Amino acid sequence: MKAEDTQKALKKAGLERLADSVQVLVQPAISLKAAPVKDEAGLKAGISKIGGIPDLPQGQQWPMKKDAPLSFVAQIRLDEVAPYDTNHRLPQQGMLWFFYDAKQETYGEDPQDAGGWSVLYSSDIQHLQPARVPTSLPQEARFKTSTVGFDAMSTMSQQPQLEIADLAWNNDDQAKYDTVYASFTGKPSTQPHHQMLGYPETLQDDMRLQCQMMTNGITDADDPKVAELSKSANEWQLLLQVDSDERINMNWPGSGMLYYWIKLADLQAQKFDSTWLVAQSS
């Protein structure tokens, strides 16, 4: 749905006051189309993929949670993504690698969850080689391989009151907005919904305040520090959303999704060691 069509839909729904905020409510993103392959041996090292065996730089150790190896989730070659990154948020070259708790016991609901995932980045991908998978990584934590194609997409916030400061909002407004949101997103796809950047497809609550609280060591929503922290919660940017995908035996807790988050300033600085992960179930 184009911006002008979204404006018309908001006005038709009785939400005229949101029409001028479409540029805030609608954000560009990158769709990841996964295609399972039967034999990874024939794939060229260093391509984008979900599951399988990562191609790592020489000397790069497999990420661990304490003494246990993490599951490999995905590697994204950034020059393949760059043509679709219309806001130029990501580095133009290099590779990102994503890992997650092999036992799937990390949900991002506690500051102690840090270490239950890993995001690696290298600008130099000239000498990548298939990693040696740790023998202690359980078979159920090893996923089959999908190659990845990319496309530009638009995403819409599910809760405009979180994007627009001091917006008067009630349940009736949300019901009207949900109708517009449903028209914007169209019919639910039966394919896994993998995505970079933009607004995520949340299965539960918005995650940005959760990221802000956890990274500041706060677990109690009634903590007096939360009010101040919430003012900068929108600094968090979705980096990668990975859906469950039965085709490659990738099934997250509750048939849900993984969301890797990063502060926009850290993304711009190419600082990928300060991410936060949230797992939500459907």
The enclosing H or E element of 229 equals helix 225-230
Amino acid 39: pLDDT:
81
pLDDT on residue 253: 92
3 pLDDT above the threshold of 80: no
Span 183-212, mean pLDDT?
A: 92
pLDDT of 187 above 80 = no
Give the predicted TM-score (pTM) of the model. Answer: 0.96
The residue-averaged pLDDT of 111-115 equals 96
* pLDDT mean over 100-128: 96
Q: Please, which pLDDT band fits residue 282 given cuts at 50, 70 and 90?
A: confident
Mean pLDDT score, 25-47: 92
Sheet containing 71-77: order of strands: 117-122, 95-100, 71-77, 49-50, 146-156, 26-36, 194-196, 236-243, 257-263, 276-280
Instruction: Name the residue ranges covered by the structural domains of the chain.
Output: 3-205
* pLDDT (tens digit per residue) in 7-23: 999 999 999 999 999 99
**pLDDT for position 181:** 94
Question: What is the arithmetic mean of pLDDT over 68-89?
Answer: 97
pLDDT at 1 over 80: no
Instruction: Over range 129-155, report the average pLDDT.
Output: 96
48-64 per-position pLDDT tens digit: 999 999 999 999 999 99
Q: Pick one of 3.30.70.920, 2.30.130.10, 3.80.10.10, 2.30.320.10 as the CATH number of 3-205.
A: 2.30.320.10
Strands 26-36, 194-196: pairing kind: antiparallel
Closest among 13, 28, 32 to 250, alpha carbons compared: 32
**pLDDT tens, position by position, 206-222:** 999 999 999 999 999 99
